[in-house]
């Protein structure tokens, strides 16, 4: 009887395991708050955003980010928010404003561009409150090749000061994201020391740095020293290996050491998984989780 009972339970466990291709029955205990985005696990659970978020929580992820949150319907925003609260997950960044990839908007000092940006910031406050977000991404746009860089910097700082005045009463933070020259040529903000200097000049708790490890590896390298030097102004990280912008262990970045450094600095914020999957299908999703388990094992 005991043997028959054991075989029955073992067979049942195997059948359950077949329904969940990898490691959902026991949550992974990640040391840091890695935040997947929609689409990363659609092969396992389909296209429904709520099913995807629940699956992320089942895997042990404690955060979620969504660049496109602002464009989603209010009904969906509310559903996402309720799901995150229910599952004990933090909401990461969303993009706060229209990004001009080929126009010098904030660097130009043009009043129309400035006012449009500030209106976008105001509109983002309601989205942030609806989804329990604290951080929103800001990209200042392109260089103005007809202006000296110091004048451009002054224009950007002045606009960000005004945006900070809007955000501070709500305890919200815009995070400035430097982007690399290869993927986004011609942008004003490209390096972490530059973002650090701007944040110091704005001098507000509502203006901080989004340190995207993928972008900064391409743009400047020297990751751990630059993270250390910029530490006081960094409020958020994003992840992607180089080359390829896929999960850790697919490129040249020693993410295990980078994460260990961030962890030992006492960081308890979010690290957005702003990258693709290196392999397609369910196997690719398993490889992604396995990669994070390996680089988190410091």
Q: What is the pLDDT of residue 264?
A: 98
Report the CATH number of the 28-295 domain. Answer: 3.20.20.150
Q: What is the pLDDT of residue 26?
A: 61
Distinct helix (H) and strand (E) counts, the chain? 11, 9
Helix (H) or strand (E) holding 123: helix 111-131
- Residue 99 and residue 139 in contact, taking contact as beta carbons nearer than 8 Å: yes
Q: What is the pLDDT of residue 27?
A: 86
Q: What is the pLDDT of residue 16?
A: 39
Q: In whole angstroms, what is the distance from residue 110 CA to residue 106 CA? A: 7
Q: Is 60 exceeded by the pLDDT of residue 9?
A: no
Domain segments of the chain as ranges:
28-295
Find the range with the poorest average confidence among 2-11, 174-183, 216-225, 269-278.
2-11
Q: What is the pLDDT of residue 4?
A: 44
| Residue 112: other Cβ atoms inside 10 A | 9
Q: What is the pLDDT of residue 45?
A: 98
pLDDT, average across residues 194-209:
98
- Residue 33 and residue 271 in contact, taking contact as beta carbons nearer than 8 Å: yes
Q: Is 50 exceeded by the pLDDT of residue 186?
A: yes
Q: What is the pLDDT of residue 5?
A: 41
pLDDT one-digit tens code per residue, 248-283: 999 999 999 999 999 999 999 999 999 999 999 999
Helix (H) or strand (E) holding 95: strand 94-95
Find the range with the poorest average confidence among 21-35, 47-61, 283-297.
21-35
Give the 3-state secondary structure of residue 295: helix
pTM above 0.85, yes or no: yes
Bridge partner residues of 133 (DSSP): 91
Q: What percent of the chain has pLDDT over 90?
A: 91
- Residue 7 and residue 245 in contact, taking contact as beta carbons nearer than 8 Å: no
pLDDT, average across residues 56-84:
98
pLDDT one-digit tens code per residue, 135-170: 999 999 999 999 999 999 999 999 999 999 999 999
Exposed e or buried b per residue across 250-289, where buried means at least 16 C-beta atoms within 10 angstroms of its C-beta:
bbebebeebbbbbeeeebebbbbbbbbbbeeeeebbbbbb
Q: What percent of the chain has pLDDT over 70?
A: 91
């Amino acid at each position: 009887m005991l043997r028959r009972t054991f075989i029955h339970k073992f067979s049942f466990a195997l059948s359950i395991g077949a329904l969940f291709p990898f490691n959902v029955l026991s949550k992974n205990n990640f040391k840091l708050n890695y935040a997947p985005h929609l689409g990363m696990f659609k092969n396992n659970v389909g296209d429904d955003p709520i099913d995807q978020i629940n699956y992320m929580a089942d895997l042990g992820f404690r955060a979620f980010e969504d660049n496109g949150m602002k464009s989603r319907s209010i009904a969906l925003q509310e559903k996402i928010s309720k799901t995150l609260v229910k599952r004990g997950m933090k909401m990461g960044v969303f993009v706060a404003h229209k990004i001009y990839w080929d126009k010098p908007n904030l660097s130009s000092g043009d009043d129309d561009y400035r006012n449009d940006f500030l209106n976008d910031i105001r509109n983002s406050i309601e989205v942030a409150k609806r989804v329990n977000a604290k951080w929103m991404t800001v990209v200042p746009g392109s260089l103005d090749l007809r202006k000296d860089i110091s004048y451009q910097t002054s224009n950007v700082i002045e606009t960000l000061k005004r945006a900070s005045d809007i955000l501070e009463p709500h305890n919200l933070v815009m995070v400035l994201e430097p982007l690399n020259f290869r993927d986004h040529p011609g942008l004003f903000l490209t390096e972490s020391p530059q973002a650090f200097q701007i944040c110091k000049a704005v001098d507000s708790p509502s203006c901080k740095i989004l340190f995207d490890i993928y972008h900064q590896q391409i743009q400047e390298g020297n990751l751990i020293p630059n993270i250390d030097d910029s530490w006081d102004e960094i409020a958020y990280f994003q992840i992607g290996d180089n080359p390829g912008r896929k999960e850790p262990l697919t490129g040249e970045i020693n993410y295990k050491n980078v994460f260990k450094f961030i962890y030992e600095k006492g960081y308890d914020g979010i690290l957005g998984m702003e990258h693709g999957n290196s392999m397609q299908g369910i196997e690719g999703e398993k490889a992604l989780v396995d990669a994070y388990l390996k680089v988190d094992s410091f």
